[in-house]
Structure 1
Amino acid sequence: MRERVAALLGTPVERIAGLGSSHAWTLHRATLSDGREVFIKALTDRPLDAGAAGGAGGAEGAGGASGAEGAGGSGGAGVAGGSGGAARSGGLGAAADRSGGADRSGGAGVFAAEAAGLRWLGEAGDGTPVPEVLASDDRVLVLPWLEQGAAGPEAAERFGRELDAMHAASPGAFGAPWDGFIADLPLDNTLDGGDWSAWYAERRLEPFLRRASRSLSRDDVALVERVMGRIGGLAGPAEPSARIHGDLWSGNVLWTDGRAMLIDPAAHGGHRETDLAMLALFGTPMLNRILAAYAGAARERGAPLADGWRERVPLHQLHPLLVHVALFGGSYRSALVEAASAALGAGAEPRFRFDLVTPQSWLFVFWKMR
Structure 2
Amino acid sequence: MAEFIKQRTSAPRGFFAAEAAGLEWLAEPDVVPVVSVIDHDKTSLRLGRVEETAPDAHSAFAFGRRLALLHDSGAPAFGWSPAEPAWFGPLDSPFEVEVASCASFTEFWVETRLEPVANDIDDQLSKDENQTITSAINAIAGGTFDGIAGKGTETPARVHGDLWAGNLMWTPDGCTLIDPAAHGGQRLEDLAMLALFGTPLLDDIFAGYEAVHPMPVGWRDDLPVHNFFALLAHVKLFGAGFLGQTLDAAQAISDRARALAV
Shared fold, TM over 0.5: yes
Measure how far apart 1:43 and its partner are. Answer: 2.5
Please list the CA deviations of residues 311-337 of structure 1 after superposition, one character each: whole Å capped at 9, or x if unmatched.
Answer: 111111110000000011111111010
Counterpart residue identity of residue 312, structure 1: D
Q: Which residues in structure 2 correspond to 1:272-291 (within 5 Å)?
A: 272-291=187-206
Please list the CA deviations of residues 174-221 of structure 1 after superposition, one character each: whole Å capped at 9, or x if unmatched.
Answer: 1214221111111112122x1111210011101110122232222222
Partner Cα separation in structure 2 for residue 254 and residue 341 of structure 1: 32
Counterpart residue identity of residue 50, structure 2: L
Counterpart residue identity of residue 105, structure 2: W
Measure how far apart 1:307 and its partner are. Answer: 4.1
Q: Specify the SS of the correspondent of 1:230.
A: helix
Q: Which residues in structure 2 correspond to 1:45-124 (within 5 Å)?
A: 45=10, 106-123=11-28
The answer to whether the 8 A contact 2:22-2:180 is kept is: yes
Q: Specify the SS of the correspondent of 1:134.
A: strand
Matched, 1:265 2:175: no
Measure how far apart 1:122 and its partner are. Answer: 1.3
Which of 244, 247, 256 lines up with 1:334 in the alignment?
Answer: 244
The structure 1 segments of at least 4 consecutive aligned residues displaced by more than 4 Å after TM superposition are: none
Counterpart residue identity of residue 40, structure 2: S
Identity across aligned pairs (percent)? 41
**Unaligned 5+ runs, structure 1:** 1-35, 46-105, 299-303, 347-370
Measure how far apart 1:284 and its partner are. Answer: 0.4
Partner Cα separation in structure 2 for residue 43 and residue 108 of structure 1: 11
Mark the structure with the bigger radius of gyration: 1
Residue number in structure 1 paired with 2:4 = 39
Q: Which residues in structure 2 correspond to 1:1-370 (within 5 Å)?
A: 36-45=1-10, 106-123=11-28, 125-175=29-79, 176-177=81-82, 178-183=84-89, 184-192=94-102, 194-231=103-140, 232-235=142-145, 236=150, 237-298=152-213, 304-345=214-255
Partner Cα separation in structure 1 for residue 249 and residue 50 of structure 2: 35
Residue number in structure 1 paired with 2:260 = none
How many matched pairs? 244
Partner Cα separation in structure 2 for residue 318 and residue 130 of structure 1: 25
The answer to whether the 8 A contact 1:246-1:265 is kept is: yes
Partner Cα separation in structure 1 for residue 110 and residue 216 of structure 2: 20
Counterpart residue identity of residue 9, structure 2: T
Tell me whether 198-207 or 305-314 shows the greater mean CA deviation. 305-314
Partner Cα separation in structure 2 for residue 305 and residue 180 of structure 1: 30
Structure 2-normalised TM-score? 0.89
Counterpart residue identity of residue 263, structure 1: I
Partner Cα separation in structure 2 for residue 187 and residue 265 of structure 1: 13
Partner Cα separation in structure 2 for residue 306 and residue 233 of structure 1: 17
Partner Cα separation in structure 2 for residue 277 and residue 284 of structure 1: 11
Please list the CA deviations of residues 155-191 of structure 1 after superposition, one character each: whole Å capped at 9, or x if unmatched.
Answer: 1111001100000011131121422111111111212
Partner Cα separation in structure 2 for residue 271 and residue 306 of structure 1: 15
Does 1 or 2 have the higher relative contact order (CA < 8 Å, sep 6+)? Answer: 2
The answer to whether the 8 A contact 2:75-2:157 is kept is: yes
| RMSD value, Cα | 1.5
The answer to whether the 8 A contact 1:277-1:316 is kept is: yes
Counterpart residue identity of residue 16, structure 2: F
Partner Cα separation in structure 2 for residue 137 and residue 309 of structure 1: 41
Counterpart residue identity of residue 54, structure 2: A
The answer to whether the 8 A contact 2:37-2:47 is kept is: yes
